[in-house]
Structure 1
């Protein structure tokens, strides 16, 4: 089969032929239909310091995907050949204290798909059945492919109650955009998202935010005045990992405000802890998805009409992976999708849909 492999300890990825994986006990074999390019994949392609100290080569990369089940091993229940599925890319040990207590997202022994074991940028991938999420209602395979980052957005956004609250989101990358869509959908009063990319702020405006603010030109305080806000934000969602963005967020919170921080800084940085203390601000670190409460939340949000289609801006055949990665690295787009089912969309008419694709009623307005 074809797969995108990190073959050598240098920048780049290579599309090569590798053996098709064989599912082990309790695993499922999945034919990959779509994959999403993540920031982690960009780090791996660049082979930066993190990648150099984390990866064991060669490695098939990728962890965001949707696909069709083609084989289940004996003993696997509730998953059938032909099901459209996504995958939870964090494989946990099941034996540590947190796993035994049902807090699997806090497992200290987590293994990452496409990081610590061969991933999903391939024609086929295997996963433990416990990590396979079956889409029981019709979902566009493109949207199903981004359930991993969508889960990050939902986990972060729903860390604190949002109904009627004023929400500040720093970073209008794909996950920040999805978090903005969630906050708006569930009933936040004002949703303000900040960035310096005009293209991404334009995408945010399409998602119905109250204000998409270019902080290179306008301050958050000015934005609050435009919205008639007299006090600070109730909830902050930090998605950028940018030190100044975090400092500005802390300075913009109301007393008793709560911040969920998903953005991963490149290095340590200082913040105004005196304001955190005297304003009684809560800061919560967020990583991955709660298994599997977040997955239920995602599916229900889509069932109830949440539209993620504006977030997916670019689609490529996997043969054009270099162009796709360059687009994702530009910092000017939403989510970038690789099509593994027979070519990019202009050529799709030449191929019969898979069973899973045929079952998914695609509605670009967000309905099913």
Structure 2
């Protein structure tokens, strides 16, 4: 079968033929991958940045976002059957630690990530534990089912607190930030303000329903927010992983407000917790992954009932063989989500 590999340390990937997996564990499932999409994590691995060098052990098949069809099951599998269409939760829990036993599998102490700690889904067939498979509703197109995992990030970040009637600031209009705009609107936010510097993403934020878009390189974000809101925003959704965006975003939060942080900063950052958080009485939520499987149920219902339109986020659907073009688009940030079609 064809697979996209991080064959050896260093920048880049290679597409090559590898042996199709055959032997399944008792609770493992063989999935024929029909769609897969490129994540920012895949771009980090492609570039072979500092994080990748400490985490990835080549050779390895990369990729974790997918939609596919079950073609074989292990002898103890009970949750899916041959022919089922599935997506995958990419955080693979041990099912034994305290967090797993108390309904918090997404922060499992022994967590493994598909396409990071084990072979992923940039390939024609992948072995995936039944524990993390989600049978998505038949009404959801494969292209959108393949991005349910990052969509879940947007949902988890947005809905960790009640947005009904709230003024929301989203810092960063990458694909997950764009999804969060739609989620916030669907959840009843009264006003969604988005902060973004890239012209392509500013246009996409408009298309995804942001009420107000501020380019902090051209306008004073804090001054503009307080001019619009008087008291500041109720909720900050930090999606950028940019220190300045976080700092300014916290300054925009009203006294006693809330901040939900998904962006990854790549190391320690220096901010004034005294003035930005403690003395303002702000509640901060650290977000990783998706709640299993509460978030997936919400994602399924929003897509099935067309409360969110991911055609405004999925900008490119390419044949699998054009994966290099997909990565070029991602590297240049001239796209939303890029989906690769294996049919």
Q: Same fold (TM over 0.5)?
A: yes
Residues 173-182 or 325-334, more deviating: 325-334
- Where structure 1 has 5 or more consecutive residues not aligned to the other structure, the ranges are 342-368
Q: For residues 30-70 of structure 1, what are the alpha-carbon distances to aligned partners after superposition, in whole Å with 9 as ceiling and x for unaligned?
A: 11111111111011111111111111110000000111111
1:287 to 2:283 alignment = no
Question: Which residues in structure 2 correspond to 1:143-182 (within 5 Å)?
Answer: 143-182=144-183
Corresponding residue SS for 1:284: strand
Query: How far apart are 1:163 and its partner, in Å?
Result: 0.5
Distance 2:194 2:278 in 1: 25
Partner of 1:324: 326
Query: How far apart are 1:225 and its partner, in Å?
Result: 5.8
Residues 21-30 or 281-290, more deviating: 21-30
Partner of 2:86: 85
1:310 to 2:312 alignment = yes
Contact 2:2 2:15 in 1 (8 A): yes
| TM value normalised by structure 1 | 0.90
Partner of 1:47: 48
Distance 1:186 1:154 in 2: 10
Distance 1:324 1:252 in 2: 36
Partner of 2:119: 118
Partner of 1:217: 218
Distance 1:65 1:111 in 2: 17
Question: Which residues in structure 2 correspond to 1:8-27 (within 5 Å)?
Answer: 8-22=8-22, 23-27=24-28
Distance 1:208 1:223 in 2: 19
Corresponding residue SS for 1:338: strand
Corresponding residue SS for 1:138: coil
Query: How far apart are 1:222 and its partner, in Å?
Result: 4.7
Give the CA RMSD over aligned residues. Answer: 1.3
Query: How far apart are 1:336 and its partner, in Å?
Result: 0.9
Contact 2:137 2:304 in 1 (8 A): no
How many residues end up aligned between the 2 structures? 340
Contact 2:191 2:211 in 1 (8 A): yes
1:137 to 2:138 alignment = yes
Question: Which residues in structure 2 correspond to 1:159-308 (within 5 Å)?
Answer: 159-224=160-225, 228-275=228-275, 276-305=277-306, 306-308=308-310
Contact 1:34 1:145 in 2 (8 A): yes
Q: For residues 281-303 of structure 1, what are the alpha-carbon distances to aligned partners after superposition, in whole Å with 9 as ceiling and x for unaligned?
A: 11111101111111111111123
Query: How far apart are 1:137 and its partner, in Å?
Result: 3.4
Q: For residues 62-102 of structure 1, what are the alpha-carbon distances to aligned partners after superposition, in whole Å with 9 as ceiling and x for unaligned?
A: 00011111112223224222222100111111111111112
Corresponding residue SS for 2:44: helix
